[in-house]
Structure 1
Amino acid sequence: MNKYNWNNAFPDTPESFKNKVSAALNSLPDKKENDKMGNGKIYKKGSIKKKIIVGLVATMVIGTTVFAAGKVSSIISSSSSTPTYTTIPTAGQVKKDLKFNPKLVNKFGNGYTFVNGVIVNNKGTDDKGNFAGKTKSLDFTYAKGNDELSLYMENGRLGERSKGETAIANYNGIDLYYYSYTSKFVPADYKMTEQDKKDKLSGKYVFSYGSDSDKEKISQVQYLNWMQGGISYSFLGSDSNVSKDELVKMAQQVINTK
């Protein structure tokens, strides 16, 4: 099983969070392995890694989540490899499955259309590794041609936001926060050059080790986050053709959905 340096995928977060996330994610089975964790749920690292770990990037990178049990320093997010929904679910279905009612959009004005959705299980721990709460959330995939975006929806509130996240708009009294960075994925045994060290120090690249091939890959990661009615919404794209302005308009469409 390949080990991934997940620490570098989460800039601007405490070391305790990075260490726990790295250990947790590297303990998950690889893409072709199924691990019955005693509760009938299939945990799949491959699907999580492909989406840049939606639950973590969309929530933990921009701050800490607060559960009733206390402050969470790390979260393990997991989901089945099989989509929960292959057509847009009804509000009743989501309410029954997750006990909350997020805004549901089948197709956006710019052409991104619902492909599938999966229920994500999130387990939080504190700085000492103690259980600190759990939630369920939705991860919807939208496509426009070959381009894909994720919309992550969780029933909860966020703590402090990171220095890298910027409020870029306010719509109907709701602040929209945007964050982007360039990731450089490299093989697990990659040795940094002097230029790499300069690029890391300057913030040009966020380095992540353990890519699926022997080749280096540079990806542009961006997301837009907001809170409405106690529910957190996050668009996440990796090498997506969508622009920041388009993400804002898509967020506005979600906000306006009845």
Structure 2
Amino acid sequence: MDNYNWNNAFPDTPKSFKNKVSTTLNSLPDQKENGEMENRKIYKKGSFKKKIMIGLVAAMVLGTTVFAAGKIFSITSHGSNIPTYTTMPTTEQVKKDLGFNPKLVKEFDNGYIFANGYTTNNEGLDVNGNSVAKTKSLDFTYKKGNDKLSLSMENGRLGENSEKATVIDTYNGIDLYYHSYANKLVPGDYKLTEQDKKDESSGKYVFSYGSDKEKISQVQYLNWMQHGINYSFLAIDSDISQDELAKMAKQVMAAK
């Protein structure tokens, strides 16, 4: 299994929300080889494959900052840890499996090639636990050498654009939103030092808990909406640049 840490993918949410996430993650069971499980917002280290959660991470990076009845407070997901697709699916297959037709790219001009894909059912809950929205997403992993990144395609969007997401380009009238940050992973019992508190306050690091040891990861996120479908690239500790991600997005937008 690819060993990624996604203990915090939503820097715009309040601390009470982050604490709730951490508590939920710590209570999750370990992964079973052929089981299905529900995972709230992000996955516990070593317990769930990265690919299935891309849609959730995407949704919560975009997530609403207003939490009240009728507004999305948390997101849950159902899906298998076994790839739905090990070869590039046809548009007919995707339409049959998910009920919508996203634009599909097998290989990008910069060398990233389709590796596998997962289908996910997402549900947005309000502060009282009531269901307020449901979506399905298709999550593709692309590889180029040892580098990986993910593309999520969701029929609609849970939440609104984060205030920290910046429009970096416009293509055929469609805005491309980009956000990046340094994520500092620390053990669950880690106590923030005074310097940590300053780094968090200044925005130097977003702190997340649950890792076996301290680690700093660079997170990049780019998304856009086209014909009612929310597309989002997610790259962790990748060599890819912001401009390259934008070019990949344009290739998706121009696909037939």
Q: Which TM class, normalised by the smaller chain length?
A: 0.7 to 0.9
Residue 245 of structure 1 corresponds to which residue in structure 2? Answer: 243
Residue 232 of structure 2 corresponds to which residue in structure 1? Answer: 234
After superposition, residues 1-258 of structure 1 pair within 5 angstroms as 6=7, 8-14=8-14, 17-18=17-18, 21-30=21-30, 32-33=31-32, 41-43=36-38, 45=43, 46=46, 50=50, 53-64=53-64, 70-157=70-157, 159-211=159-211, 213=212, 215-258=213-256
Question: 1:116 aligns to what SS in structure 2?
Answer: strand
Counterpart Cα distance in 2 of 1:64 and 1:201: 21
CA shift, 1:119, in A, is 0.6
Counterpart Cα distance in 1 of 2:124 and 2:21: 10
Counterpart Cα distance in 2 of 1:239 and 1:109: 21
Counterpart Cα distance in 2 of 1:104 and 1:256: 10
Give TM-score, length-normalised by structure 1: 0.85
Counterpart Cα distance in 2 of 1:133 and 1:34: 30
CA shift, 1:9, in A, is 3.7
CA shift, 1:61, in A, is 2.1
Q: Contact 2:102–2:153 (CA<8 Å) still a contact in 1?
A: yes
Give the unaligned 5+ runs of structure 1. none
Give the unaligned 5+ runs of structure 2. none
Structure 1 stretch displaced more, 45-54 or 77-86: 45-54
Counterpart Cα distance in 2 of 1:121 and 1:24: 19
Alpha-carbon spacing, 1:97–1:20, altered in 2? closer, same or farther (3 Å): farther
Q: Contact 1:9–1:207 (CA<8 Å) still a contact in 2?
A: no
Counterpart Cα distance in 2 of 1:251 and 1:94: 20
Give TM-score, length-normalised by structure 2: 0.85
Question: 2:219 aligns to what SS in structure 1?
Answer: strand
Q: Contact 1:43–1:80 (CA<8 Å) still a contact in 2?
A: no
Counterpart Cα distance in 1 of 2:85 and 2:52: 21
Counterpart Cα distance in 1 of 2:189 and 2:23: 18
Counterpart Cα distance in 2 of 1:106 and 1:70: 38
Dislocated runs of 4+, deviation >6 Å = none
Q: Which amino acid aligns with 2:217?
A: S
Q: Contact 1:220–1:238 (CA<8 Å) still a contact in 2?
A: yes
Counterpart Cα distance in 2 of 1:158 and 1:174: 19
Q: Deviations over 1:46-87 (max 9, x none)?
A: 46574694223312222339xxx9532210134311100000
Q: Deviations over 1:109-140 (max 9, x none)?
A: 00000000001121221111112232221110
Q: Which amino acid aligns with 1:231?
A: I
Count of residues paired in the alignment: 244
